[in-house]
């Protein structure tokens, strides 16, 4: 009993594979290489156009496939005249309508994003008065006097 390993010892898949290879006298033909993790690329700020194009293509594919499916479902509904078949066609029409609305919404969102970039101020200058309220009052009174003098 002492020469056996405890049954509750955790086994890794490598241990199991090695033991099975040993029992069945199989020599491994494939070299076991370490798995390299692939890190996704960092997202750049300029990817919004790429993302827009990708989303747009996906929506086009969904709409096209949905239209093809609707044609087939309409034929089935006509042949079987089953109420459930017509219900499914109605649901698919609703889904296709929503996909079309999403496509239009995508365009509006992209357009508003571009307008926000265009509208953003390029140079911002803030006139800031540093002083007490008495100093501010004196300055405003001087400006009033100079404006009155210019008008007279």
Return mean pLDDT, the chain. 80
CA 20 to each of CA 6, 7, 10, 16, 113: distance values in angstroms, whole numbers, following the listed order: 18, 17, 16, 6, 60
Q: Under a CB-based contact definition with an 8 Å cutoff, are residues 70 and 93 in contact? A: yes
35-70 per-position pLDDT tens digit: 666 666 655 556 788 888 899 999 999 999 999 999
**pTM for this model (two decimals):** 0.46
Q: What is the pLDDT of residue 115?
A: 79
107-119 per-position pLDDT tens digit: 899 888 877 766 7
Structural fold of domain 46-117: Helix Hairpins (1.10.287)
């Amino acid at each position: 009993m002492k020469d056996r390993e405890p049954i509750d010892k955790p086994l890794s898949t490598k241990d199991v594979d090695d033991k099975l290879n040993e029992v069945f006298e199989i020599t491994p033909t494939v070299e076991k290489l370490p798995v390299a993790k692939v890190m996704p690329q960092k997202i750049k700020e300029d990817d919004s156009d790429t993302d827009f194009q990708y989303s747009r293509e996906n929506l086009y594919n969904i709409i096209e496939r949905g239209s093809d499916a609707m044609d087939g479902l309409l034929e089935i509904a006509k042949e079987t005249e089953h109420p459930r078949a017509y219900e499914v066609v109605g649901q698919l029409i609703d889904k296709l309508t929503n996909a079309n609305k999403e496509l239009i919404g995508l365009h509006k969102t992209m357009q508003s994003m571009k307008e926000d970039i265009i509208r953003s101020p390029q140079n911002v200058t803030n006139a800031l008065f540093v002083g007490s309220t008495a100093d501010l009052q004196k300055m405003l009174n001087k400006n009033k006097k100079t404006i009155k003098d210019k008008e007279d």
